[in-house]
Structure 1
Amino acid sequence: VKEAQAKWLLKIETLLGESYGKLGKHKTPSEMALLAWAVLDALTFAGGLGVPTLTHHCIAVIANGEASAVLDSNGRLDRKKIDHFIMETSRLYPAVTEVPFLRSGKREVISIGMQSREKAVWGDDADTWKLRPLPLYHENLNAFAEFAHPTRSCPGKGLSLAIIRGFLKQLNEYSWSNVDTSKPLKANGFRFPEFTIRLSSPSSSS
């Protein structure tokens, strides 16, 4: 691990040095080392919030009944529709709602959240959780910055989906419920508030 770490740090330092050189700026070796560590940490932990946020949203739409169409008679997620379920949830409640970038020296922001609810693309019920034709997601879903240049789109998309899928399958083994039912579990825009679930015994039918 340390050898791989050192290899990547050296590669990043080299690239940063070339970039700063083109700008006519130079950094000391210690400054370059700190910058390289910052870049490596950013790349390594880029999905640190995205995965739990989207997982949180997936649990929320089950708990509040929005995703009832993909639940069986026991209130459990249909295993055959898990990926479809994740795609629709990430469309309506994306973990990352905005992506900033520079164009012609000006900072602009792409609103993934707004695009994901564009009625011209998703239909008049774009603000509603509903499974839509799979090709529509493949062509238009931008929850993982699929629109970006290949080197800028989310490099951890596959791993993120695998983690969320695995978690949901494991959760499906249990009966569970939202602890606080005194108030509706609703999203504030693209985000759900914190809530607690209580697990019961494993499902005998799973």
Structure 2
Amino acid sequence: MIFITMLIARRRGMRKKIVVASLTVVLFGLAGLAGLAWAGAKVYVGKRHETDRLLPLDQIDHGAWDRLLKKYVADDGLVDYAAWKNSPADRDALADYLETLGRGDPRAKTTAAGRLAFWINAYNAVTLQGILREYPTSSIRNHTAKVFGYNIWDDLLLRVASEDYSLNAIEHKVLRKLDEPRIHFAIVCASIGCPLLR
């Protein structure tokens, strides 16, 4: 196609202009594709809720999450991802819990302990959802693209009220602002060297 265009252009003395224009179109197309790959695909968990259905963070029920942890986390803190992945009912229970977290209202008056519990549980539940989504996997680092593609820390987003929160946002923009040094012993990163999940 380009060759035919160049032959026609040679006759009209426009060969150089058409080559430049064709290359420009190709380069812009490649830049657009690179931009899409760079950004990574966003994955949303949870659900946005109407503002009249939101609750203060300390009124969110974490019972379902607690039951899942008791079922799939051993005393040594290791998660039985294979069993969890093979249980559609419990994968749905985790998805339902993440939707429940979406009813939380970060702007509503709440207790400091309730705020801390909400965000720690949210961080840990999103992390486990991310691992279950990718399982079987040997490491969470396999899902942390630095340049191109999906990065679990930035592209896995929890919907809470009207906002979307990545794991990085929860850790660095929410939990750190709570000025609670013990968070580093409570949030998990799904690695052997991380704190135990309880």
Q: Which has the higher helix share?
A: 2
* TM-score, length of structure 2 as denominator length: 0.29
Rg larger for:
2
* TM-score, length of structure 1 as denominator length: 0.28
